[in-house]
Homo-oligomer: A and B are copies of this chain.
Amino acid sequence: MAYRETPRMRARKEATRQRILDTTQSLVASGGFGAASVARVAEESGVAIGSVYRHFESKSDLFAEVFRHATEVEVKRVGEALNTTGPADEALAKALEVFARRAIRSPTMAWALIAEPVDPLVDEERLRYRQAYAELFEQTLVRGIREGCFRPDQNPKLSSAATVGAIAEALVGPLSPAADGLDREKADQLIHDVVRLCLQAVRAPGGQQQ
């Protein structure tokens, strides 16, 4: 008789897989990918090391899935901010602020997602993740050009990619484990500065300043 997985076995398997993912994500949030060794993931998930490899082909695959899950949430929040009513420049400013504020609130996780040297599979996810933001920003740039708040003489695809690069790179230093922590006032100033910089790059001449 062929092996048949019962619904109950399947549910238990799925629960273990999810527990491994959640544990890994918590470890990354507190110490970066570097803190999430398979031994530690197994221990804190209450499973054997071999069990981690039954659910994920390799540590890289596990990391890539954690990366995807964590960034989907971030991209969704930025997308929601862009879709608020109001002029395109306000929507873009709001979205950049959401990105930066969420990053500063979870600096270790944000640094892990944006810049931590990890693994080529994670780097591939990173390229896709940046592309996802760029596509969202591009829609808002196109809308803002139509509305007149953004310069018409720009390439929205290029400007949107540049915006993603600008905000991510501006945060790498302040988020890095080597940096001093940011108090509320410094964090607000940082967010204000980076949002203003990004907006000024794309704004129509004579457009309102932040």
A7 within 8 A of B: no
The interface bits of chain A over 115-152 (1 if a CB of B lies within 8 angstroms of the residue's CB, else 0) are 10111111110110010001000000000000000010
Contact of A170 among B115, B126, B158, B196 (CB under 8 A): B158
A190: chain B residues within 8 A (beta carbon): 155, 158
Contact of A194 among B117, B158, B203 (CB under 8 A): B158
Dominant SS among interface residues on chain A: helix
Does the CB pair B162–A194 fall under 8 Å?
yes
A201 within 8 A of B: yes
A109 within 8 A of B: no
Closest CB in chain B relative to A135 CB, distance in Å: 11
A126: chain B residues within 8 A (beta carbon): 117
A127: chain B residues within 8 A (beta carbon): 115, 117, 172
Known contacts A166-B165, A201-B166, A201-B200; is A173 also within 8 Å of B194 by CB?
Answer: no
A163 within 8 A of B: yes
Known contacts A117-B124, A123-B118, A201-B197; is A169 also within 8 Å of B173 by CB?
Answer: no
Question: Which residues A144-202 have CB closer than 8 A to chain B?
Answer: 151, 154-155, 157-159, 161-170, 172-173, 189-190, 193-194, 196-198, 200-202
Given contacts A158-B190, A158-B197, A169-B169, 7 further A-B contacts (CB under 8 A): A117-B126, A154-B196, A157-B173, A158-B193, A158-B194, A159-B197, A164-B165
